[in-house]
Amino acid sequence: MRRLFLWLPLAMFALFLVVVAVKLREPGDSTIRSHMIGKPMPEFSLQPAVPGRAGLRSADLRSGRPRLVNVFASWCIPCRAEADQLEALKRRGVPIDAIAIRDRPEDVAAFLQAYGDPFDRIGADPRSQVQFALGSSGVPETFLVDGRGIIRLQHIGDIRPEEVGEIYAAWEQAK
């Protein structure tokens, strides 16, 4: 019996190593999904992010037509990478609005000049209040909002070229 107790710590350590090895091979999904999927867009009214442009209100998203809402920032490198994909969606007829978080108007204007402007409206969210209300965990993120203002889809991270078709199909389905 005493020999068994001598081997017990080694057996427990071996079991620990097996559990760690299994978890390393098959890591869990650490993506943080919005709790707002299937719920109405939170009420908000954002000032324009760029002078001379329309701001964004939650009422704008209840127009009867589904829209994308892209949460971005001029300082966000992946936001630059997805600019071409947003332009491609716009060319297909998808209306896109934006929320610029923690940004300055001159920086947003420079971003749009350099990377394109697929947005109908851009609201400024300087303290990320609307971003947090959406359950957004970072930038870029894109939400598909149906014509009644219900959030139907959340795309975390930059939209890749191979994902444009999927997002377009989801937009078509939301009509």
Please report, as a single letter, which amino acid is at residue 67.
R
Could you tell me if residue 140 is inside a domain? yes
CATH of the domain at 80: 3.40.30.10
What pLDDT, in 10s, does the model give residues 144-154? Answer: 999 999 999 99
Q: What integer pLDDT is reported at residue 28 of this predicted model?
A: 65
Tell me the residue range of the domain where 124 lies.
45-173
CA-based torsion, 61, 68, 122, 100: positive or negative = positive
Could you tell me if residue 12 is inside a domain? no
What pLDDT, in 10s, does the model give residues 48-66? Answer: 999 999 999 999 999 999 9
Reported pTM: 0.81
Mean pLDDT of 8-23: 77
Number of domains in the chain: 1
Q: Report how far residue 69's alpha carbon sits from residue 166's, in angstroms, rounded to the nearest whole number.
A: 16
